Structure 1
Amino acid sequence: MNERADVAAAPAARAAQAAADTAAGTAAARAAARRQGLRQLIRYTLVGGTGVTLDLAVFLLLYNMAGLHEQAANAISTTAGITNNFILNAVFTFDRRDRLLVRFLRFYAVGLSGIVLTHLLLVVCSGRLGVDPNLVKAASLPLVLAVQFVLNRKWSFG
């Protein structure tokens, strides 16, 4: 009688073990994906730091020294930062070297969202509230970086 119960229970035990193995594998895969996402965020932030530095330096140079209008200086400086970041993110952060033109166009489109967001902040804060454009530009950078990471991870390099 016990042998029959053992034989009958064997498929259920195998199924339970398979389900446990699958759950453990899924949990491990989720943990690995979280670690990879965290590594990418850290790298993206480091790369972003170089782009932010370049963006801000070019903006300050063009706006304060060359006398360019704040919006023109912003468009040029942001483009310099976008190009810098695309190259470094393609190689360092996401390790993607395929379809570079398509990826760059997507990355640039995401970058344009940063130009638009910064433009709106400059219009409201500088144009209407009288805040110094240098401060508005500097304050906009962390917000723009966060929005663009999500978009680039999913769309440009996904």
Structure 2
Amino acid sequence: MTVTDAPAPGERAGRRPRDLRQLAGYTLVGGSGVALDLAAFVLLHNVLGWHEQLANAVSTTLGITNNFVLNAVFTFGKRDRLLLRFVRFHAVGMCGTALTFGLLWLLAGRLGADPNLVKAASLPLVLAVQFVLNRKWSFA
């Protein structure tokens, strides 16, 4: 083991590959949730004419539920305390929803940006924040 391969202080050896696998799995699962979220948002907002905030609430809830099931089974392999984990996962998802609401309110509602672009641009930031929170709290 070289100095560059040494784990960070407080980190156990051999954890990095698992961390990277979880991040990769979370990102793939997140991609499916993003696709579902965005497709539902476009359908509800553009096709059905729902207000962007209502369309966002429904589309985000669909994405959160999709992601919980897939992350519980594939990414984190946690099948115990599913109700508690879902409540926590959903709470983390609502943090992301609040962040997206704020961005939509400011950028689309106040500054006139296209709500579709704001929604799409918010997704990577929300994904990163939620990975950290879910890994440390929902699936700990």
Give the alignment's TM-score, normalised by structure 2.
0.92
**Could you tell me which residue of structure 2 aligns to residue 109 of structure 1?**
91
Unaligned runs of 5+ in 1: 1-23
Question: Which residue of the other structure, out of 72, 76, 79, is the alignment partner of 2:61?
Answer: 79
**Could you tell me which residue of structure 2 aligns to residue 17 of structure 1?**
none
Structure number with greater Rg is: 1
Structure of higher RCO (CA pairs closer than 8 Å, 6+ residues apart): 2
Computed over aligned residues only, the root mean square deviation of the Cα atoms, in angstroms, reads 1.6
Question: Which residue of the other structure, out of 22, 28, 31, is the alignment partner of 1:49?
Answer: 31
Question: Which residue of the other structure, out of 51, 55, 75, is the alignment partner of 1:93?
Answer: 75
Secondary structure in 2 matching 1:30: coil
The equivalences for 1:50-65 within 5 A come to 50-65=32-47
Identity of paired residues, percent?
A: 71
Question: Which residue of the other structure, out of 29, 36, 39, is the alignment partner of 2:18?
Answer: 36
Which contiguous aligned blocks of 4+ residues in structure 1 show a shift greater than 2 angstroms? none
Secondary structure in 2 matching 1:104: helix
Give the alignment's TM-score, normalised by structure 1.
0.81
Paired amino acid for 1:139: A
Question: Counting helix residues as a fraction of each chain, which structure ranks higher?
Answer: 1
Secondary structure in 1 matching 2:92: helix
Unaligned runs of 5+ in 2: 1-5
